[in-house]
Amino acid sequence: MRTLLLISGFLVASMAPALAASEADFKSAYAAAEAAEKEAGQLRNQWTTTEAALAAAKKSAAGGDFEQAVASSKEAEALAKASIFQATSEKERWKDMEIR
């Protein structure tokens, strides 16, 4: 029983650093979000919520909260991708709404 507890304790201790997000994780997540937002910008269709999520990610990273910074970056990336999808699908779909 004591051995089992010791092993469990060792496993938890060794996994903790692996679960916590690092600065490198943030940088990678933020770069992906920024690239998607740049693409949305080229389509002239950025969302204010994407910009807000990117700003929140930077703020969290500056405060050393990389967990939150990665989460915000991922949210920004998802929003940017949704705005790209919107711009792409509206290329022809706008005509459905036209008064004829």
Partner 1 sequence: MRTRPAIRFAPLALALAALVLAALVLAAPTARAADTPDPVADAKAFQKFYTQKFPKVKFEDFVNGPYSMNEDMHRQWEEKEQFPPYEFALEAGKEMFSKPFKNGKTYADCFPNGGIGIRQNYPYFDEKEGKVVTLELALNRCREANGEAPVSYVKDEMASLTAYMAFTSRGKPMDIKIPNDPRALQAYENGKRYFYTRRGQLNFSCATCHVQSPGERIRAEILAPALGILNAMPIYRSEWSGMGTTSRRFTTCNSQIRGVPLNPQDDEYRDLEYYLSYVSNGLPISGPGARP
Residues near partner 1, by CB under 8 A: 44-49, 51, 79, 82-83, 86-87, 90, 93-95, 97-100
Tokens of 10: 């060792």
CB 54 within 8 A of CB 71: no
DSSP H or E run through 61: helix 48-62
Rank residues 60 and 75 by Cβ distance to partner 1 and give the closer one.
75
Cβ neighbours of 63 (radius 10 Å): 10
Rank residues 28 and 86 by Cβ distance to partner 1 and give the closer one.
86
Rank residues 18 and 99 by Cβ distance to partner 1 and give the closer one.
99
Rank residues 14 and 94 by Cβ distance to partner 1 and give the closer one.
94
For residue 47, the minimal CB distance to partner 1 (Å) is: 5
Rounded to whole angstroms, how far apart are CA atoms 35 and 38? Answer: 5
For residue 28, the minimal CB distance to partner 1 (Å) is: 24
Per DSSP, 43 falls in state T
